[in-house]
Structure 1
Amino acid sequence: MHCEKNLNTVKKHLKSFEQLIKKENKMKRYLFAAALACTFGVSYAQKAELAEAQKALDKKDYASALSYVGKADAIIKQNESSVPAEQKAQAMYIKGIVALAQAGDNTEAAADAIKQLAEVVKFESAKDYSARNNETKKNETFASQADLDKAMISGKYSKPKVADRVATYTPAIKQALNTAGADLYQKAVDAFNAKKYEDAAKLFDVTYLAQEQYAPKADTALYNNAAISMLQAHKYDEAAEYYKKLIDMGYTGIETVYEATDVLSGKRQIYPSKKDLDTQVKLKLATDPTTRVEPSKEPEIYLTFIQILFQQEKWDDVVEYARKARAKFPQDKNYLMIEGQVYYDNKQFDKYLELLKEGEKLYPEDADIQYNMGYIYSELKDKDNAKLHYEKALEKDPKYANAYINLASMVLDKEQQINEEIDKLPYTLNAAQKKQYDQLRAQKDEIYKEAVKVLERGYQNVPDNTVIVQTLRNLYNNLGDEANAKKFSDLTKSLLGE
């Protein structure tokens, strides 16, 4: 009897416990249902806002599109881990397309819009990392594989999944940027033709930015166009940045040009490809087809960049890029000469001379190298070597006017010492002093005659050089040769248009 009473008590307690469990499970189901409803409500709300934003965008009602997408954004930010990637991409896409449409002629705004759309493409090309939250029983997304790994290690997640995102909006973005890119390019060309060079440069730059997203490979020639435009605008710092970019990218500008005469206009026209050219010829819409390969623009790009650096007195950079250019284009002496000019302007004559000796070996028939060696030896007061190399320059190029002028100048330098001796003589001369004066004057005449001999050679080879003609006039005057003095005086007037 006592056992039966205890058994009834146990059954009673068990029944109460079962009722409590049922009540608790019911509450859990209610809470789960409420959470699910809440999640569904949030998901529906952001989806609805995005749908309205898309409708507004399609109608080009950009203000409404931004208003709706702003509301969707707020919901997305509050529920970041549970929002599908496609909805995030849609919000980014709408904002980017609106920004592109509203950019107009503002190149900075257009660039920002293109960057926004590039982020969408990047976002859609990434992967989705997700796992199930064991507590909420919901899937959550993670920013990276590392974040997903950390979540799994915590033990709070299960069923990890890595999947490629669907590129829902990437095709539309590429199409939009293709259209925008063509429009930007035409604006750039129009700006350049209107001599609005800085505007043109910025438009070429933004066109490149657009092409990076829709073309298999952006056309690097756009940066070359931007560099030339900035150069025309006298924006040398900006031009230098573009030229450096072209050098770093290894741009050469070598391209095949397909050209023919358009039948309708009668004008020569360039076609995008050989296939396009052949098609037009086959359809008898074009005649006289030609194909040519444009030479490399790389040497010119290096040279222009180095010249800008020289103007900016960035001496170390000039030397660095001049040497790079010399290594790439050893047949072009311009880079060696610019490097040498750096040493000359900084009074580093020994370095310049060593460089010129190197150049003498590389360009044995070059008159400029010999002339510059003569000039540097003259600066170093080595007159014998100076004369030697000026004469070598004339052997290479008999019309090298400055070599004649400098040789004559070296001869006339000797006059200074004689003038100093004459200046020491008193105003009134005695017989001995008169004799000394006559001797000094005779020495001066010999110097003049020697200089005349050099410059007459120059006149025979370069008869239109005003410095040579004027100096000969003065020397013949000093020598008292009236006939030749008049001859070169008349020639001077003729050359100067007097």
Structure 2
Amino acid sequence: MKKVLLTAGICLFAGSVFAQMKNVNAAFNEAKMPKPNFGEARKSINEALKNPDTKDLAKTWYVAGFIENKSFEGDYNKTLIKQSVNEKNMYNALLDSYEKYLVAAKLDTMPNEKGKVKSKYLKDIKNTIKNNQPHFWSAGAYFYNEKDYKKAYKMWEIYQDIPKLNFMAKETLNATDSSYMQIRYYAALAAFQTKDNKLAIKALNEAKKDNYEIQDIYYYLVYAYSQEKDTVNQLNTLKEAVEVLGEKANDPKYQFMSQLINLCIYTGKGDDAIAYLKKALETNPNIAEYWKVLAVLYYENKKDEANAVQCLEKAISVKPDYADAYGELGRIYFNKAVTASNEASLIKNDAEYQKVREEVVLAAYKKALPYYEKAHSMKPDENEYMIALRGIYYNLGDEANLKKIEAEMNASE
């Protein structure tokens, strides 16, 4: 009795497998028809892909990939004769075909019970993937233009991954080294557009190795690190960009040197900022803004008034209408006057106090005055300059100019 039941069980199992293989074969035959019904083919193969008896068979996945590839080929051939197709569906079929063929290739190269590999479908899979590689370039471009950046990145990533597949190692592909560089660049741009900073950083670092459109790559990489608040890698990338690009690091479109200097200042690395400013000015001494920033660092960080003044005078010689440089010079002498005034207030002897006030305090205000007046003439709405001028006029006893500047301040409120 047990033997009869066992035999019946085997028959039932064989019948189930046979029924599902009918689905696989039916789907395969439908896809090979001159005018396939891909809806029916997909319905049949999807049942086999879900069934435990056939879902792990190489043929099932091969047929699934074959169907999608036939769908892609049909639409692509229509485009060659200027017929309109649904490009999204066409390229999604290309992607589905590739992914299903990968599973089929894996199952088709598994050793049998004797430890031997006897592939039935691998040759056709390799040929199809080889022929389809260029289409992944076009697919990426389509999805990029459609602003589906994740799908664009995926398509371009597959283009790069095909030669890395174990079973494609010996295949001669049509792609050139330059095409891979371009694809890595475009894939990096797509990754950046996804707003997924980690993905962007990965793709941009990969593209950076090619030195292709390297200024763009550094620019987007710095931005991605900034969005991740990774100041360490942001700073290191800017340093690398400045080192690699040389004078091009000052390109106003990218401003790598300016970004590096600002980040050094922001992260408390004032000495590094000074060093980079000096380096930049050795290459191009005609950047007035750099002379002004260097002056501020000398003055604020190093308490080096002499070098600060020298840098500001250099900035003005490069850019005579540079209001900020005049304002900084005024600030240095204004602060000198305030400090001297505070120190003088501690002097007990009236005659000595008056002497210091006249020779040191008022002398410093007088030195600050022309610089602030020049800055104010260029930037009449700058409140800082008006406040400083009011203080100077008050201390110098210049009532006429004091009233005039106060009137200007009241009018600007």
| Cα distance change, pair 357–240 in 1 and its aligned pair in 2 (3 A) | farther
Give the Å deviation of 1:304: 4.1
SS at match of 1:365: coil
| Cα distance change, pair 209–472 in 1 and its aligned pair in 2 (3 A) | same
Which residue type is aligned with residue 337 of structure 1? S
| Cα distance change, pair 241–383 in 1 and its aligned pair in 2 (3 A) | farther
Q: Distance in 2 between matches of 1:474 and 1:417?
A: 14
1:392 is aligned to 2:319: no
1:117 aligned residue = 97
- Seq. identity, %: 19
| Cα distance change, pair 161–458 in 1 and its aligned pair in 2 (3 A) | closer
Deviations 1:117-158 (A, max 9, x none): 3234446789977xxxxxxxxxxx738xxx99x659xxxxxx
Indicate which of 212, 227, 245 corresponds to 2:192: 227
Q: Higher strand proportion, which one?
A: 1
Which residue type is aligned with residue 409 of structure 1? R
1:142 is aligned to 2:79: no
Residues 62 and 100, structure 2, Cα contact 8 Å, conserved in 1: yes
Q: Distance in 1 between matches of 2:395 and 2:242?
A: 48
After alignment, is 444-453 or 414-423 more displaced? 414-423
1:410-489 map, 5 Å = 410-424=332-346, 433=350, 435-442=351-358, 443-463=360-380, 465-489=382-406
Q: Distance in 2 between matches of 1:312 and 1:177?
A: 30
Q: Distance in 2 between matches of 1:222 and 1:457?
A: 52
**TM value normalised by structure 2:** 0.65
Which residue type is aligned with residue 361 of structure 1? E
Which residue type is aligned with residue 355 of structure 2? Q
Which residue type is aligned with residue 224 of structure 1? L
Q: Distance in 2 between matches of 1:372 and 1:354?
A: 12
Residues 292 and 315, structure 2, Cα contact 8 Å, conserved in 1: yes
Q: Distance in 1 between matches of 2:343 and 2:243?
A: 54
| Cα distance change, pair 251–450 in 1 and its aligned pair in 2 (3 A) | same
Give the Å deviation of 1:91: 4.1
Residues 445 and 479, structure 1, Cα contact 8 Å, conserved in 2: yes
1:357 aligned residue = 278
1:84-483 map, 5 Å = 86-91=59-64, 117-122=97-102, 142=111, 165-167=123-125, 170=128, 184-185=143-144, 187-188=146-147, 200-206=148-154, 208=156, 220-221=185-186, 223-228=188-193, 230=195, 238-239=196-197, 241-242=199-200, 245-250=203-208, 298-310=214-226, 312-331=228-247, 332-333=249-250, 334-378=255-299, 379-424=301-346, 433=350, 435-442=351-358, 443-463=360-380, 465-483=382-400
SS at match of 1:351: helix
Give the Å deviation of 1:393: 1.6
Q: Distance in 2 between matches of 1:44 and 1:321?
A: 60
2:23 aligned residue = 49
Q: Distance in 1 between matches of 2:218 and 2:125?
A: 41
| Cα distance change, pair 436–313 in 1 and its aligned pair in 2 (3 A) | farther
| Cα distance change, pair 311–407 in 1 and its aligned pair in 2 (3 A) | farther
After alignment, is 244-253 or 468-477 more displaced? 244-253
**TM value normalised by structure 1:** 0.55
Deviations 1:286-331 (A, max 9, x none): xxxxxxxxxx5x4244234324434655333123211331234222
1:74 is aligned to 2:53: yes
Give the Å deviation of 1:444: 2.8
| Cα distance change, pair 219–417 in 1 and its aligned pair in 2 (3 A) | closer
| Cα distance change, pair 304–186 in 1 and its aligned pair in 2 (3 A) | closer
1:271 aligned residue = none
- What runs of 5+ residues in structure 2 fail to find an aligned partner? 1-10, 72-87, 163-173
Q: Distance in 1 between matches of 2:120 and 2:126?
A: 18
| Cα distance change, pair 474–303 in 1 and its aligned pair in 2 (3 A) | farther
| Cα distance change, pair 229–396 in 1 and its aligned pair in 2 (3 A) | farther
Which residue type is aligned with residue 482 of structure 1? E
Which residue type is aligned with residue 327 of structure 2? I
Give the Å deviation of 1:363: 2.0
Q: Distance in 2 between matches of 1:174 and 1:300?
A: 26
SS at match of 2:388: helix
After alignment, is 385-394 or 439-448 more displaced? 439-448
Q: Distance in 1 between matches of 2:68 and 2:240?
A: 45
SS at match of 1:327: helix
Q: Distance in 1 between matches of 2:291 and 2:280?
A: 9
Q: Distance in 2 between matches of 1:365 and 1:179?
A: 46
Which residue type is aligned with residue 324 of structure 2? N
Which residue type is aligned with residue 321 of structure 1? T
Residues 390 and 407, structure 1, Cα contact 8 Å, conserved in 2: yes
Q: Distance in 2 between matches of 1:168 and 1:48?
A: 26
Residues 340 and 352, structure 1, Cα contact 8 Å, conserved in 2: yes
Give the Å deviation of 1:391: 1.4
Which residue type is aligned with residue 399 of structure 1? D
Which residue type is aligned with residue 319 of structure 1? L
Residues 369 and 392, structure 2, Cα contact 8 Å, conserved in 1: yes
Which residue type is aligned with residue 192 of structure 2? A
